[in-house]
A and B are shown apart, each in its own frame.
Chain A
């Protein structure tokens, strides 16, 4: 209620001023409204309705709603985390494969299948963050070393430990992708209610994220089928790995 009042009053008063003193009207709104934000190529926040309407007029394709700053920040950190996560996944499987396959040659096709899928995901996110000019994580070399150590370490502990590692990692990653998909679907729903569309880019991104999430959860099933639960200190191992994953996600979202 108060917001409605606030937004109508100045606009109701301004026109009369504009006629009397043509030089004052730009002074007033510029102090109140023009943030330095706009100069960094960002679109207006949603709550500033008039400004948002103005940007809709800018739109390259009709009916596509420009993302607001919070949405862009969300996508920025989401894509960065996803790329870091897939980098880690590729390296974990790459490091696990030789020791695991050596003692259990029948797992070779499974390991190769999972590795190939992760490599595909990694390629997808590399392309996405290059296209959308998202900064990769600063911790890149750290994650590289940590993921290789984790993959190799669990593989040396045995097949069950390696599978428990896969289970723990894929559980965290699956949850993470699920959260992202939920947020994006929520945006899509809200935008469609307004009669606008999210644009092809976002629709494609949602489809892609869903596909990747399903594949990650499929790896989780494979791991459980291959006796992940029989790893020796199962609770300790999975909890440490899951905690590590969550920390890595938290860090990659920020730096």
Chain B
């Protein structure tokens, strides 16, 4: 036993050091610089992915619980205890669902390149993508309140919000939005708010094919568009007024 212990400390320490160095990235809201020259690595390590992907199949029956995780581990051929592999337990299951559904968006929604001569606007693309993401919750919607409760635990609020922000970023990116000024922030913030409100609404929705959720989403998006138009209109007016005031003064011979 002793020689093993002697051999061990350094690698273990090294591992701790490595993990503590990685720690800040946890709370990093935005992944940085996206490259097109190589494919992205898979979002989860193989073992975690194997357990979680099986566990997610048990969520409709068992909810976002340790039971679902254990069953998933068994299905993947691991011991029940191997769920200790997931340091955040059930939240990792919720997180897996969120990450996989976010990454699935780019394949599940395709926009034909203006075939019929009619171009699809960014606004309607955002609507389509948001709706597609909400529909991805359909199989587990009766369990989604549990997930929301888990995400609302103080420890998990920051990663949940970060994931929400990443989803909003993904939707605007896939919709082809290229604005890179302050509206970059307001767009993501409003979409995050709208998405999370609609998601909560959807857990209560008993209408067929979630018709009411769709109406709710449309109403929120329309409100947002009206607000955006009003703010944009005011900004344009203020800009115009200031410029013309300066020009009037210049025309009067003032040296400004």
Contact = CB atoms under 8 A, between A and B. Distances in A.
Given A32-B12, A35-B19, A76 B38 contact: no
A97 B250 CA distance: 13
B31 interface: yes
A60 interface: yes
Interface string B215-256: 000000000000000000000000000000000001000011
Contact of A99 (B39, B45, B181, B255): B255
A23 B80 CA distance: 11
A9 B7 contact: yes
Interface string A67-86: 10100110110010001000
A6 B10 contact: yes
Interface string A43-76: 1100000000001001111001111010011011
A69 B82 contact: no
A99 B34 CA distance: 42
Interface stretch (A133-141, A165-173, A216-224, A237-245): A133-141
Identify whether the interface residues of A are mostly helix, strand, loop, or mixed. Answer: helix
Contact of A141 (B30, B182, B255): B182
A201 interface: yes
A116 B117 CA distance: 34
B256 A36 contact: no
Interface in B142-191: 169, 173, 178-182, 184-185
Given A37-B25, A40-B28, A83-B180, A200 B37 contact: yes
Contact of B38 (A60, A73, A131): A60
A106 interface: no
Contacts of A72: 32-33, 35
Contacts of A133: 30-31, 33-34, 169, 173
B15 A31 contact: yes
Nearest to A59: B38
A135 B40 contact: no
B78 interface: yes
A99 B30 contact: no
B32 A201 contact: no
B105 interface: no
B38 A30 contact: no
Nearest to B84: A27
A199 interface: yes
B184 A43 contact: no
A61 B22 contact: no
Contact of A27 (B36, B82, B180): B82
Interface string A109-144: 000000000000000001101111111101011000
Contacts of A27: 82, 84-85
A199 B34 CA distance: 13
Contact of B99 (A5, A30, A39): A39
Nearest to B44: A39
B48 interface: yes
B37 A75 contact: no
A175 interface: no
A10 B8 CA distance: 8
9 contacts: A27-B84, A30-B45, A32-B11, A34-B47, A38-B43, A42-B41, A60-B37, A76-B32, A129-B180
